[in-house]
Structures are given as C-alpha cells and as structure tokens.
Structure 1
Amino acid sequence: MPSHSPAPLVSLTWTDHVTGTEGYLVVDRLVRGVSSGGLRMRKGCTLAEVTGLARGMTMKEALHFDPEESRTRYIPLGGAKGGIDCDPRDPDAYGVLVRFLRAVRPYVENVWTTGEDLGLSQDLVDRAAAEAGLVSTVQAVYPLLEDEGDARRRLADAFAVVVDGIGLEELVGGCGVAESTLAALDRAGVAHSGTRVSLQGFGTMGGATARFLSEAGLTVVAVADLKGTIANPAGLDVEALLTARDAYGAVDRAALRAGDQELPAEAWLGTEAEILVPAAVSYAVDAVNQASVRARWVVEAANMPVLPEAEALLAERGITVLPDVVVNSATNAWWWWTLFGDVGPDAEEAFRYTRRSMRALVDRVLERAAADGCTPRAAAHALAADRLPVMAERFGWYGKGVGHTGRGPGRGVG
C-alpha cells in the first residue's frame, strides 16, 4: 500500500442548478473508510483551496496519532474538506448550502464527516443537514464506535457546555492555539507578561484565542474584524470586545474605551507585537504585505493564511511561522476525543487534555525543526510523513462499514 496519496482520492465540483454557485468536495485520504474535515462557505472559494485544506486535514489527523500510545480510544481518520463559493450573508446562501448537502449526501453518509468551518456555524450546518435528509454530518463514523448511543450523548452533552457565555466547542480551538503559542514562548524563554498579540479575526477561533492568551498574561494590542482594526498599545479589554461582537465576529464600536483606536483593516499586520495571529481567512499574508510584519512569531489559527513565498521571506527575516496543521488542529481532535471517549463533556477536562496534547505536539515539532534545521512546517510535514505509512499498515484505507441508518440529529466536525 502506498505511504502517501500523490493526488486526492476524490475531487468533485458541484454546480447549483438554481443559482449557478459552485461547491467542492475533496477527500484526500481515508483511514478505516472514513475522512474528516469541515465545510466552509466564502465568496471566492476554489477547488485548489479546498484541495489544500483537505491535505492539511490528513496531516492534522496524522499528527495526533501516536504509534506508541495505546491508552487513547481515538484512532485518526483520513483528511477531507468541503467548500462553497458563496458569501454566507447572501440571502440565497442557506438554500445553496442545503442543495450542496443533498448533492453530496452519499459521501456524508459513508465516507466524509464534516461540520462548521469558515463562514458557517455548527447550528446552521446541522439545520441544513437535517433538511437535506441526513441523520448527522458525522454519521459515517458511527460504525467505528464501540457504543454509538453513548458516544452521541457524550458529544451532545459537550455541545451543551457553556463557559462565560461561550460554547465549549468554540473555546477548545482557541485553547489549542493559545497553548501552541505559550509552548513556543516557553521554549524561547520569553515571559508571558508583557508579550503583545495582534489578531486578524475575532470570530470563533480568533475570539477564543484572544481570551486564553489574555488569561495567560499576554496583552492583546490589536484585533481586526470586518470593519477594520481596533488597537490599543496599552492593551484591549478582550472580554468587553467578546461581549460586543456579532455572529460574524464584528465588534460594536460603541463598546470601545478611551485609548482604543480605529485603524484600517490591514493595520493588524504591522502592529508592534511579538505574536501575530491570523485567525480569519486563507491567503492573508502574501509576498508583498509580509514586509509589514514586525512580530517574532506568526501563529496560524486560520487555515493556510500565510502563502509559501511569504513564509520563506519571513524566515529570512528570522520570523517563525507556527503552521496551521499543528496550531489549529485541536478543534478537529476535540470532536474525536469526545466522541470516542478520551474526554468527557466537561470544560476543565477538555481544556486540560487539549493543553497537554497541544504542548506535546508543538514540542515534538519544534524539536524536529531544530534537529533538522528546518521550519516548523517542514518538521510537521516530516512527522506526518513518518506516521501515515504506520496508519495505513495498521488500519488500512477502507473499512468494513459502508453506511449507517442511525436515529436522530447529530453534531458535525470542523
């Protein structure tokens, strides 16, 4: 069996017969017959973008597989991704989403577990999936569970957990990004207090990341949303901004304090800060605008926010990019840790497990980078390449389960 897939296993383009909108599904790899990866909706989404994201999901799954660990119940899946070229605020967007899910229903039922990603909330995906006739957006994994009923109750209970007004499913991803950042700071001997952070995006991932970094003692000095950049060299009131944001992560400017500044949208990139966190869109940092970056670390909370040519130029200037396949992988992993029973529906247990897992992963990646004299991204790719053949040998590409007819609604995976 080959150790890697030179091309995606499945790559398809869908055209909506009502609006002409295009959507894409890419299954990069299967493990035990199943793949994992969210569904995004944004104007300008392309097949190439979804293909790259699907490959990234393969690596995220592989990086959370420890061949020597026998205590965990979760066995990684393959990587996949879906995307729809549509503005999620378009009045026709929900209808497009439902029709896309109807079209790819056989894949969701059998090989592709999915859920919220950029532009979509989990509640919206669940509602559209039910209208499309699906049992759940993760029903393909049900045949792999020891006790499906118990697993589904555990995941539903976890989604019901709210911490200070924010759902646990939103917070876990930010916890993982924050812990990745703290691990890098600790290895470099940099104190948390006084370390400044600038973020692009204040939605699910960006907002949760800002909260955990602020709680760890770092100072969030800039946040960019759909309206522009909010900055304060003395530090922003993260909790006040979180309370004042809407469903798209845009902050009500009436909540700003004296000293908070409103700057152009791109100002987040060149803010005086040690940590830069692109947590919104792909391709945010390119070969031109990377020249504005003054930070020491760029932490990829979003998927594919730094273009390869930009990363090479940043590296030449001594700026380290912590890659998305590591940094934002906790969101996906938490779904499976919970569904398979490695963690229960408890916030503190989820945060402890996430912090321990992400710190161990970041440490492995940075140690490999130091040993090989390469970037953290190259080190992460090398670790994934080591593990994929082991996964293929132990579990195979195709499982015995070919479908499921379970009962009731379920949750998805991003």
Structure 2
Amino acid sequence: MFLEVSWTDPVTGCHGYLVVDRLVRGVASGGLRMRPGCTLGEVRGLAEGMSRKEALNYDPAGRYVPLGGAKGGIDFDPRDERARGVIERYLRAMRPLIEQYWTMGEDLGVRQDDIDEVLAELGVSSSVVAVHPLLDDLAAAKARLAAAFEVQVGGVGLDELVGGLGVAEAVVTALGHLRLPVEGSRAVVQGFGSMGGATARFLAEAGVRVVGIADVQGLVVDEGGLDVEHLLAHRDRFGAIDRAHLCPGAAARPADEWLKVPAEVLVPAAVSYCVDADNEHLVTAKVVVEAANLPVTADAEARLAARGIPVVPDFTANSATNSWWWWTFFGDIGPTADEAFAQVRTRLRHLVTTLFTHSNRHGTTLREAAQALCDANAAAIEARFGDDAA
C-alpha cells in the first residue's frame, strides 16, 4: 500500500478517503465514488482491485502501459442537494495528489461532468493530469479523448457504453464455455445506471432475455423479457426507472426479490457486498458476472463455487471502461465507436477465455485464475520499469 488518506468535510462532517494501492511509473488510476456507508476498508479493497484491473490488461506491444491502482470514496448520499459541495471540498483537499499521483474519474454516485466542472473551477486542467508526463504527444492524446467523448451511439455517449459492452461480452463468452445458449438465456441485472443500463442493452442485442432489472426503487420483472430500450428511455440520471412507463407484462416487485428471479445469468451492477453469506443460497443462476466492484463477498463466492456456480470477477468483467480511456488516450485505438467496440469485444473475449482455460486446467476458481494472470503481468511490468513500478 503506497498511501491512505482520510478526510472530514468541514461543512457536513461526512468522511472521505483516498487509497493509492500501487504506483506504476509514478501514477495510479481509479475512480471516485459516493454512497452512504462508504468506508476506508471498502476503498482499500477497491484500490487493490484497480491494481489488478490495470495489470490484467497489460499488452507489452501496446502504447498504453497499465498504471497502478487507486480509489476515492465519500460517505455521503449523492442525491442530497449538498452532494456537489461535498465533492468540491473533497477534490480541493485532494488536489495535490490528483496533480501528482492519482488519475481519477467517475464511479458509483459521482458523474464525470461534476468532476470536470469542479476541477476546472480549481484550475486543474484534467482529472488525469498526473499521467500527462507519460505521453509522447499530450495535445494529440487530449484531442483523441475529447473526440471519443463526443461520440454517441443511439443517443448515448460512447463512454457510457464501453463498460457495459465489456460485461455483456464477458457474459456471452462465459455462456459459451458453460455450453449454454446465448439466444434465449435469461439474465437479471441489479443496477440500471451507466454500467447496468449498458450491460442490459448489449445483452438484449446479443439475444439474452433480460427478465429482471433492479434499481434504487425496487425490481422490475417480465418472464418474457423486458423491453430494455424502453426502460432506458424512462430512467433518471441515477438509473431509476419511471414505474409509470412500464410495458404490459412488466411488473414491479420489492428490491429484495432480485436474487429470486429464475435466470441463467446474474449481473450485480450496482453496489458492493450485495451477495453475501446470508443471501447466497437464493442464487440459482448458472454464472455470476460482476459488473459492480466487489458485489460478491469472499465467503459467498466460496459457497457459490462449491455449488458449481462460477463468478467472473469484477476486475475482469468491468475492466473495459478503465482500459478504453487509456487505449484511446495513449493511441492504441482511435476515437470511434467501431474501434472501441472491436477492442473491447476482442479483449474481454480473450480474458474470459483465458480464465476459463486456466480454471479448467488447474482446478481453480475464475478469480484465482485472474489473480494468477495479474501477478504474472505485474511481474512483467516491474521487470520492465524496475523501481518505477512498485
């Protein structure tokens, strides 16, 4: 662990944290989240996960060399009218670390627009300014990323789609390895924000029947398959679906029933620790694909493994959002949807296939297989950069 910072907001008294788990070439990457109940332990675990997520996508032939891992977290309700002020004061306090070590962006409960606006007010040119010295042509890199953020597909920004596309590709690849059909397989997605919404969209496009979506208000189900595009058109900025616009056949149920909906695929895409030892027995899916960070506790995952239910770990399944930023910024891909989608699909298909192959060959879980790949890549990065990767 390189650095841990605890912060107290002088106005509301809420607490915030920053953990830098590891530096590579002097820089670490990870987002800022805001949710009631966020703890230092949670942020520490997320920072460690970012180190794994970065290392997992190391390609020695690529321009982008994975960074270290970091994470920020604030224990506050993002729906509170005071939330933006809290973010502003937090970023002001963390400014020296943002400028030197921490490349950061949005995460649960925090929007990139708010981060960019606050940093501009503070005179910081970018939320990833710490990585600028590593670029050969900073102007070209900024232009590529700016152009990529202007791209929309079906009225949705490319930056809000790539993460969910990666999760959906992980689901499709996992179904293939489990010898389950993609067409007609059922999925339940918990969370309908940027990640969950995009995941549901691409699953539906692939032919998976999305039969349940859980949001902050509860659960929406339809055994025949939900009209995902219709629901996306009737959600707010926090991913809450307007129940007044449900299609015929769709029904609203209590939130705690999301694990009970019969499905082959379970995609937790919202909060951490939502599948634990107390509710794991309710899972009937054939595979769990983690779109959120740390949604399945270690003891629950062990019990799922004992029941023959594999879990595709978060730092594999949801890695595309982070990697897309850097692939674009460093110039491995151009600022187009075609290049982004092709890279995400190819990379996630390769990663998930590698995990299943290792798991089957060595009798490990998918998480253990992913960790082995991360360790090998981290060792290669350290050998390449020496003391700058520590």
Q: Same fold (TM over 0.5)?
A: yes
- Show the 5 A alignment for 1:53-72: 53-66=46-59, 69-70=60-61, 72=62
Number of the residue aligned with 1:302? 292
Number of the residue aligned with 1:89? 79
1:180 aligns with 2:176: no
- Show the 5 A alignment for 1:282-301: 282-301=272-291
1:151 aligns with 2:141: yes
1:13 aligns with 2:1: no
Name the SS for the 2:388 alignment partner: coil
Number of the residue aligned with 1:356? 346
1:116 aligns with 2:106: yes
CA contact (8 A) 2:98 2:130 kept: yes
Name the SS for the 2:187 alignment partner: strand
Cα distance in 2 between the residues matched to 1:257 and 1:335: 36
Number of the residue aligned with 2:380? 390
CA contact (8 A) 2:76 2:83 kept: yes
Cα distance in 2 between the residues matched to 1:25 and 1:85: 12
CA contact (8 A) 2:164 2:196 kept: yes
Matching residue's letter, 1:201:
G
Q: Deviations over 1:123-178 (max 9, x none)?
A: 11111222233221100000111100010011011001111111100100001001
Number of the residue aligned with 2:42? 49
Number of the residue aligned with 2:17? 24
Deviates more, 1:358-367 or 1:106-115: 358-367
Q: Deviations over 1:71-108 (max 9, x none)?
A: x2111100000001110111211111111111111110
Name the SS for the 1:104 alignment partner: helix
Gaps of 5+ in 2: none
1:397 Cα deviation from its structure 2 partner: 4.7
CA contact (8 A) 2:382 2:388 kept: no
- Show the 5 A alignment for 1:2-401: 8-66=1-59, 69-70=60-61, 72-398=62-388
Aligned length, in residue pairs: 389
Change (3 A) 1:365 1:39: same
CA contact (8 A) 2:91 2:119 kept: yes
TM-score normalised by length of structure 1: 0.92
Change (3 A) 1:183 1:194: same
CA contact (8 A) 2:213 2:220 kept: yes
Cα distance in 2 between the residues matched to 1:266 and 1:342: 42
Higher relative contact order (CA 8 A, sep 6+): 1
CA contact (8 A) 1:30 1:397 kept: no
CA contact (8 A) 1:202 1:250 kept: yes
CA contact (8 A) 2:188 2:266 kept: yes
Cα distance in 2 between the residues matched to 1:114 and 1:397: 23
Matching residue's letter, 1:165:
G
- Percent of aligned pairs with the same residue? 57
Name the SS for the 1:262 alignment partner: strand
Cα distance in 2 between the residues matched to 1:398 and 1:379: 26
Deviates more, 1:361-370 or 1:26-35: 361-370
Cα distance in 2 between the residues matched to 1:303 and 1:143: 29
Number of the residue aligned with 1:407? none
Matching residue's letter, 1:40:
R
Cα distance in 2 between the residues matched to 1:188 and 1:318: 11
Matching residue's letter, 1:11:
E
Q: Deviations over 1:225-265 (max 9, x none)?
A: 11110000000000000000000000111211111111110
Runs of 4+ in 1 over 2 A off after TM superposition: 396-399
Cα distance in 1 between the residues matched to 2:100 and 2:357: 38
Gaps of 5+ in 1: 1-7, 400-414
1:345 Cα deviation from its structure 2 partner: 1.0
